[in-house]
Amino acid sequence: MKIQNGWHLVKAALEGFKRNKVRSLLTSLGIMIGVLSVVLLIALGLGLKNYLRQQFESLGANLVIIFPGNISSSEEGGGIANFGPGFAGGADFDEKDYLSLTRISEADYVVPLFMKSSVIESETERKFGYFMGTNEQAFKILNLETLEGKFFTKSDLTARTKVAVLGQNLADGLYEDSKDAVGKTIRVGEQRFKVIGVAKKKGDREQDNGVITPYKTSFGTLNSGKTFFTIYLGTTDEKSIEVIKRRAEEILLKRYKKGDFTVTEQTEILSTVNQIFSIVNAILVAIGSISLLVGGIGIMNIMYATVTERTKEVGIRRAVGATQWDILKQFLTESVLLSIFGGSLGLIIASLIVLIVRRFFPVSLNLLAVFIAIAVSSGIGIFFGVFPARRAAKLPPIEAIRYE
Amino acid sequence: MIKLVNVCKSYFLGDEEVKAVCNINLEIKDKDYIGILGTSGSGKSTLMYLIGLLEQPTSGKVILEGKDVSKLSDTDLSKIRNKTVGFVFQQFNLINRFTVLENVLLPTKYSKRDLDFDPIKRADELLTHFGIFDRRNFFPNKISGGQQQRVAIARALIMKPKVILADEPTGNLDSKTGDEIIKLLSSLNKELGVTVIIVTHEKEIAKKTKRRIYIKDGKIVEKYL
Ligand SMILES: Nc1ncnc2c1ncn2[C@@H]1O[C@H](COP(=O)(O)OP(=O)(O)O)[C@@H](O)[C@H]1O
Ligand SMILES: [Mg+2]
C-alpha cells in the first residue's frame, strides 16, 4: 500500500513533467550544471592523484630519497616551490657523500643519480632525451627490465666503460626497431657510448627516454661537476626506513647545514602532494557547489510558481480527502524528481566527458562521485522544495477552492 | 448523523469581522434530502463547507456521529471527508490536467484503508451509469458542462459516501441540463439512500427536496422571502 502510494506520486509528477517538458528541462538545468561540474572536478582530482601515484610507483617500494633543498619545512619558507633537484640550491652531493651513505648497513641499495636533458644522436637520428649517470643498482630500484641486451654491472662502473642502456622510447626514436639499438654507438655531446641494452617501457617519461650510464664514466665530461642530484636508499624491509632516514641525516649533517638537503621517503612526498591537491580540489568543489545552490534556488522559484498555479487543485484535493502531508509529499516529489533528473543528466554528461578525456589523462569516476551526485541533488530537491510544498500544504482548503 | 450546535463562522478582513453564518442549529439525519435556500452572499456555501468539514467553526460545535469534530486533527478530518463526504460544486472543480477517469479516481488515491472495491471498475460503472463512459479519457475542457458535472458527481460518489453536498450544482448549466442533474441527485437519495444536500438560490430546485432550510444574512429563518 505504501509503495503503491509512493509510486502514484512519482507517476503523477512525471506526467506533469511530460505536459511541461521545456519548463521541466530548464528547471533542472541548474542542477545539471552543478552536478556536472562537481563530478568532473572530483574526477579530475582523482585523476591527478592517480597520475602522481603512477609516477611514484614506478620507483620500487621502500625508498628513502635525498635531494638538495627543502620541501617540507615551513620555518625555512621552502614549500613546494623548492621541490626537486636543482631548484633549491643547497647541497651539491658528490661521490664522497654517496660512499659515506653506502656505510648504512640497513640500506640494501644506495643509488646516486645525475641527470640532465640532452640531445642524443645515432648515426642517422637526433633525439631529445635524458642523460643519466648512476650505478648498477639503479636498475633494481627503478624496477627496470631488459627488452634486449643487458644492463651494465659493477665492473663496468669501476672500469669506467663507455656503455649505455637506452629507454625503449628513445631507442625507438633513434633506430628503426628498438631492438636494433644493441651494439650500436650513440653520441651525447662529445662523448660516445656503446649501447649494451634496452629497458622495457614503463610509462615514466624520463626513464623511457633515458640514456643510463655508469656514473664514473660521465665524470669530467658530461658531469663535469661530479655531482648527484638525488641519492636513493632502498631497503627490502619497510621497518628499516626510519633508521635509514635518521642515519642518512646524521651522515649528511657532518658536511651540510640543516635545510640544505631533504631526507624523505616516497610516501611522504606523495602525502604532501596529495595535501596540496585536496586543497585545490576543495576550492574547485566549492565553486561547483555554488552552481548547485543557484540550481536549487531555480527549482524553488519554479515550485512556488507551480503552487500558485495549482492553488485550486490543492483545494480540490483537500476537499476529496488529501491531508496536508499528502499535499506536501506531492510537491516535494516533484522538486526532488526535477532535481534528481538534473543530477542524473549532469552525471551522464560528466561520464561521457570522463570517457573521452581518459584517453589523454588518467581521470576516473568512482562510486563516491556517483553517490555524491545523487545524494546532493536529491538533498537539494528536498531542501529547496520543502518551502513551496509547505506553502501548498498550509493553504486553507476553502480559500484554495475559491481561488481563480 | 451531523449536528450543528450554535455554529458561527466569521472571516476577518484586517480588523473587520465578517459574520458569514451565525447561530446555526441544524441536524442532518441519515438518508435526508435537504435543500438550503438563500440569496447570494447569505452564507449558503459557508454553511455547506462547515457541514462537509472543510471549514472549522469560529464558535459553536459541529458534531459528527456524537463526536465533536473540533478536537480532530487535520489528518482525521481529511480521512472523514475522504470516506463519508462527496462535494459537488457550481464550477465543477475538476482538475483540467487530468482525464475524466483520473478525476473520478482522485479520492481513491487518498484512501489509507484498503478499498472494498476495484477503483477503476467502480469508476467505469459510475461513468456508464451517467452516460459518459465514452468520455472517460477526455480532458474536462473537452466535454460539455452537463458532462463535467456528471464527472464531478461520479467523483463525489466513488468512495461510497454517506452524504453528498452540492453547492449550486446547476448554476453553470442551462435549465434543461440543470434539471437532469437535479434528477440524478434525487435518484441517489431515493435509490442509494445517500444523504443529499443541495445548496441553491432557486426555489424551483429546492422544491424537489424533502426538506428545506432557508438562510438569510447568515441565519436560518422560518420562511424564504
Ligand atoms: N474568505 C472570505 N473572506 C471574507 N469574507 C468571506 C469569505 N468567504 C465568504 N465571505 C463572506 O461571507 C458571506 C457568505 O459567503 P458565502 O457563504 O459564499 O455565501 P453564498 O454561498 O450564500 O453566496 C459573504 O458576505 C461573503 O462575502
Ligand atoms: Mg456560494
What are the angstrom distances between the C-alpha of A87 and each of A220, A260, A261? Answer: 23, 12, 12
- Contacting residues of B for A322, CB less than 8 Å apart: 78, 110
| pLDDT at residue A20 greater than cutoff 90 | no
Shortest Cα distance, chain A CAs vs residue B198, angstroms: 17
Which residues of chain B from 86 to 105 reach within 8 Å of chain A, CB to CB? 87, 89, 93-95, 97
Task: Read off the pLDDT band of A313 (50, 70, 90).
Answer: very high
Shortest Cα distance, chain A CAs vs residue B223, angstroms: 29
Whether A49 and A115 share a structural domain: no
**Which ligand is the nearest neighbour of the Cα of A403?**
1
Whether A98 and A169 share a structural domain: yes
pLDDT of the residue at B223: 65
Q: Give chain A's domain count.
A: 2
Measuring from atom 27 of ligand 1, which residue has the nearest CA?
Answer: B41
Q: Does B79 touch chain A (CB under 8 A)?
A: yes
Cβ–Cβ under 8 Å, residues B165 and B51 = yes
Whether A280 and A249 share a structural domain: no
Whether A320 and A370 share a structural domain: yes
Residue A73 lies in a domain: no
Q: Which atom of ligand 1 is found nearest the CA of B18?
A: 5
Report the phi/psi class of residue A286: left, alpha or beta, with left for phi > 0 and alpha for psi in -120 to 50.
alpha
Whether A246 and A164 share a structural domain: yes
Residue A126 lies in a domain: yes
- Contacting residues of B for A319, CB less than 8 Å apart: 52, 54, 81, 87, 93
Give residue A126's identity as a one-letter amino acid code: R
**Which ligand is the nearest neighbour of the Cα of B17?**
1
Q: What is the chain B residue with the closest CA to A310? A: B95
**Which ligand is the nearest neighbour of the Cα of A400?**
1
Average pLDDT over residues A104-115: 91
Instruction: Give B87 Cα–ligand 2 centroid separation in angstroms.
Output: 13
The pLDDT tens digits of the residues spanning A319-336 come to 999 999 999 999 999 999
Q: Is B42 in the pocket of ligand 1 (CB under 6 A)?
A: yes
Task: Report the candidate in A225, A256, A261 with the shortest Cα–Cα distance to residue A245.
Answer: A261
Instruction: Give B205 Cα–ligand 2 centroid separation in angstroms.
Output: 15
Residue A264 lies in a domain: no
Reported ipTM exceeds the 0.85 cut: yes
Whether A105 and A28 share a structural domain: no
The SS3 of residue A365 is: coil
pLDDT of the residue at A59: 59
Q: Does B49 touch chain A (CB under 8 A)?
A: yes
Whether A246 and A120 share a structural domain: yes
Q: Which CATH class is domain B29-58+71-221?
A: alpha beta
B85 compared with A45, residue with greater pLDDT: B85
Which residues of chain A from 276 to 335 reach within 8 Å of chain B, CB to CB? 312-313, 315-326
- DSSP secondary structure string for all residues of A120-145: EE-SS-EEEEEEEEE-TTHHHHTT--
Task: Read off the pLDDT band of A202 (50, 70, 90).
Answer: confident
The pLDDT tens digits of the residues spanning A337-394 come to 999 999 999 999 988 998 888 877 777 777 877 888 788 888 888 999 999 999 999 9
Q: Parallel, antiparallel, or unpaired for β A63-68 and A230-234? A: antiparallel
Whether A235 and A358 share a structural domain: no
Considering chain A, what percentage of its residues have pLDDT values greater than 70? Answer: 91
Low-confidence ranges of chain B (pLDDT < 70): 112-113, 223-225
Cβ–Cβ under 8 Å, residues B157 and B126 = yes
Whether A243 and A283 share a structural domain: no
Alpha carbon dihedral B154, B157, B159, B163, in 10-degree steps, equals 160
pTM score: 0.70
Length of chain B (residues): 225
| pLDDT at residue A268 greater than cutoff 60 | yes
Q: In a mutagenesis test of the B interface, which of A310, A320, A404 is the best target, namely the one with the most B β-carbons within 10 Å?
A: A320
Q: What is the chain B residue with the closest CA to A401? A: B93
Whether A138 and A247 share a structural domain: yes
Residue A261 lies in a domain: no
Q: Which atom of ligand 1 is found nearest the CA of B215?
A: 22
What are the angstrom distances between the C-alpha of B222 and each of B46, B57, B62? Answer: 19, 23, 22
Q: Is B39 in the pocket of ligand 1 (CB under 6 A)?
A: no
Residue A269 lies in a domain: no
Single out the residue in A203, A226, A255 at which a domain terminates.
Answer: A255
Residue A359 lies in a domain: yes
Instruction: Give B165 Cα–ligand 2 centroid separation in angstroms.
Output: 12
Cα separation, B139 vs A152, in Å, equals 88
Whether A251 and A306 share a structural domain: no
The pLDDT tens digits of the residues spanning A51-101 come to 776 666 655 557 888 888 875 543 333 333 334 444 456 778 999 999 999
pLDDT of the residue at B92: 94
Of B55, B97, B155, the CB nearest to A320: B155
Cβ contacts from A onto B, under 8 A: 60
Average pLDDT, chain A: 84
pLDDT of the residue at A76: 39
Instruction: Give A402 Cα–ligand 1 centroid separation in angstroms.
Output: 10
Give residue A323's identity as a one-letter amino acid code: T
pLDDT of the residue at A141: 83
| pLDDT at residue A5 greater than cutoff 90 | no
Which three-class secondary structure string do you get for chain B?
CEEEEEEEEEEEECCEEEEEEEEEEEEECCCCEEEEECCCCCCHHHHHHHHCCCCCCCEEEEEECCEEHHHCCHHHHHHHHHHHEEEECCCCCCCCCCCHHHHHHHHHHHCCCCCCCCHHHHHHHHHHHCCCHHHCCCCHHHCCHHHHHHHHHHHHHCCCCCEEEEECCCCCCCHHHHHHHHHHHHHHHHHHCCEEEEEECCHHHHHCCCEEEEEECCEEECCCC
Cβ neighbourhood burial of A148 (10 Å; 0-12, 13-18, 19+): buried
| pLDDT at residue A287 greater than cutoff 80 | no
Instruction: Give B201 Cα–ligand 1 centroid separation in angstroms.
Output: 15
| pLDDT at residue A402 greater than cutoff 70 | yes
Q: Is B200 in the pocket of ligand 1 (CB under 6 A)?
A: no
B163's grid cell = 452524504
Residue A40 sits in which domain range? 2-53+276-402
Measuring from atom 3 of ligand 1, which residue has the nearest CA?
Answer: B11
Task: Read off the pLDDT band of A38 (50, 70, 90).
Answer: confident
Whether A185 and A135 share a structural domain: yes
Task: Report the candidate in A330, A315, A308 with the shortest Cα–Cα distance to residue A10.
Answer: A330
pLDDT of the residue at A57: 61
